[in-house]
Amino acid sequence: MAATSAATFSAGSTVAFGTKKSLATFSGLKAATFVKCESESSFLGKESSAALRGSVVPQAQKSNQKSQYHVNPQASYKVAILGAAGGIGQPLALLVKMSPLVSALHLYDIGNVKGVAADISHCNTPAQVLDFTGAAELPNSLKGVDVVVIPAGVPRKPVPIAAEVLKKKGVYDPKKLFGVTTLDVVRANTFVALKKNLKLIDVDVPVVGGHAGITILPLLSKTKPSVSFTDEEVQELTVRIQNAGTEVVEAKAGAGSATLSMAYAAARFVESSLRALDGDADVYECSFVQSDLTELPFFASKVKLGRKGVEALISSDLQGLTTYEQEALETLKPELKASIEKGIAFAQKQTVSA
């Protein structure tokens, strides 16, 4: 199971939120005072993009028979990336710097972060970039921050380590801690669109379970738009989605693992989190969270995000499963349960050692 610390999102944990603020925007890599909002250029699907337009772009004005959406160039939120000098952290920092929702970007790492911050700060998008190095500067990197993203960590550690660490510190809020699943959704959407010759921006495949091997369960029967699959296609797509990380490792000939797709997925989740914090009432993402949807204490499923984090766990995806999906769900539970228990033990051992 990939480390929770390597794919953790903490939303809205450090500041209170008041009235909705106007947002900055940019077109491509060029700062602008307005932008034509096209869903194809977003991290999000068609439905989420429409919701984003309605949330962050309050009104549209027609120009030359095409909609132009005008907003004031003032971003609203602060994001901290812990592990910003790493293989995921650097492209993630760049993508977050491009977000029209971000006013400040705090980049933290144990070393080599100043150069990353200097480089990214040259990009002419509104977010101010600050760098923080080492344990002594970690507290300052978190001050006033709305969303904390942690791509730092060692791969293939059990979960849920981050939750246990926060519990030990007395600051755990299950509504504000999110484990990686967006990467699996991004991959599922891509592979399904390619397989079925669909327009990628329209495709949404929920993924449940965990984030390693057979614990990753794409619910292909719940794909939007509705599409039929043969038994062979279901098997092929499910296995490819489950082994997508290995596919990248093999393609890189052992010289690395997935970093760019992970950064993209993390940036998409950051964008969704910020939209939710900003008051968008229609934000949904799949994430590994504390859950009561199954007998397991942690489980990945679609969640509704709001200003306080998780507003609801969406149970409908687990209803009306195909025989294949139901059997796969029952098969993954023992492995995920063992990984969760191993993660709890690992975190407790580390706490005792410290």
Domain extents in the chain: 2-31+74-179
Mean pLDDT of 249-257: 92
State residue 211's pLDDT score: 93
Strands 102-109, 128-133: pairing is parallel
Q: What pTM does this model have?
A: 0.81
Helix (H, G, I), strand (E, B) or coil at 261: helix
Query: How sure is the predictor about 58, in pLDDT bands with cuts at 50, 70 and 90?
Result: very low
pLDDT tens readout for residues 74-94: 468 999 999 999 999 999 999
pLDDT interval class at 153 (50, 70, 90): confident
Report residue 59's pLDDT band, with 50, 70 and 90 as the boundaries.
Answer: very low
Tell me 288's DSSP state: E
Q: How many residues does the chain have?
A: 354
Distance, CA of 84 to CA of 90 (rounded, Å) = 5
**Residues with catalytic roles:** 211
The average confidence (pLDDT) of the chain is 83
| Average pLDDT rounded to a whole number, residues 173-189 | 97
- Looking at domain 2-31+74-179, does it have CATH number 3.40.50.720? yes
pLDDT, tens digit, 9 for 90 and up, residues 322-341: 999 999 999 999 999 999 99
Which amino acid does the sequence have at 288?
F
- In degrees and rounded to multiples of 5, residue 285 shows phi and psi of -145, 155
Angle at 317 (CA atoms; ends 311, 321), nearest 5 degrees:
160
Residue 250 has pLDDT above 60, yes or no: yes
Which are the contacts of 322, defined by CB distance < 8 A and separation ≥ 6?
221, 234
Amino acid (one-letter) located at 302: K
The position carrying tokens 């994430």 is 287
Kindly state the average pLDDT of the residues 237-249. Answer: 96
pLDDT in tens, 272-288: 999 999 999 999 999 99
Q: How far is CA 114 from the centre of its chain?
A: 25
Which distant-in-sequence residues (6+ apart) come within 8 Å of 194 by Cβ?
Answer: none
Q: Which residues contact 52 (CB under 8 A, 6 or more apart)?
A: 37, 42, 44, 271, 275, 280
pLDDT at 158: 79
In this prediction, residue 41 carries a pLDDT of: 39
Average pLDDT over residues 209-228: 96
List phi, psi (to 5°) of 298. -130, 140
* Residue 69's pLDDT band (cuts 50, 70, 90): very low
Predicted confidence at residue 144, as pLDDT, reads 96
What pLDDT does residue 253 have?
94
